[in-house]
Amino acid sequence: MNKPAPIVEAEAPAALHQRIRTDIEAKILSGELGPGDRIPFEHELTELYGCSRMTVSKAISALAEAGLIERRRRAGSFVARPRVHSAVLDIPDLRSEIEGRGQDYRFELISTVQRAPDGVAEVELAGGRTLLALRGVHYADARPFALEDRLISLRAAPEAARVDFGEISPGAWLLEHIPWTEAENRIAAMSVDAADARLLAIPTKTACLAVERRTWRGGVGVTRVRQLFPGEAYDLVARFGPSRG
Residue 50 CB, nearest approach to DNA (Å): 6
Smaller CB distance to a copy of itself: residue 26 or 110?
26
In the bound state with a copy of itself, the residue whose beta carbon lies nearer, of 164 and 176, is 176
Q: Give DSSP secondary structure letters for 134-199.
A: EEEEEEETTEEEEEEEEEEETTT-GGGGG--TTTS-HHHHHHHHS--SEEEEEEEEEE--HHHHHH
SS3 83: coil
Partner in contact with 109, chosen from a copy of itself, DNA, none, beta carbon below 5 to 8 Å by kind:
none
Which residues bind to DNA, rule: CB under 7 A?
A: 14-18, 41-43, 50-55, 57-58, 60-61, 64, 71-77
CA separation for the pair 144, 198 (Å, rounded): 10
Interacting partner of 115 out of a copy of itself, DNA, none (Cβ under 5 to 8 A depending on kind) = none
Partner interacting with residue 142 (select from a copy of itself, DNA, none; CB below 5-8 Å by kind): none
Q: Which residues form the interface with a copy of itself (CB under 8 A)?
A: 1-3, 5-6, 8, 29-31, 35, 62, 65, 82-93, 96, 120-121, 124, 175, 179-191, 205-210, 213-214, 216-221, 229, 231-232, 234-243
CA atoms within 13 A on the CB side of 196: 22
Closer Cβ to a copy of itself, 23 or 44, answer by number: 23
Instruction: Name which of 233, 93, 103 is nearest 170 in CA terms.
Output: 93
* Residue whose CB is less far from DNA, 52 or 114: 52
The answer to whether 238 and 88 have CB atoms below 8 angstroms apart is yes
Q: What span, in angstroms and rounded, lies between the C-alpha atoms of 50 and 195? A: 70
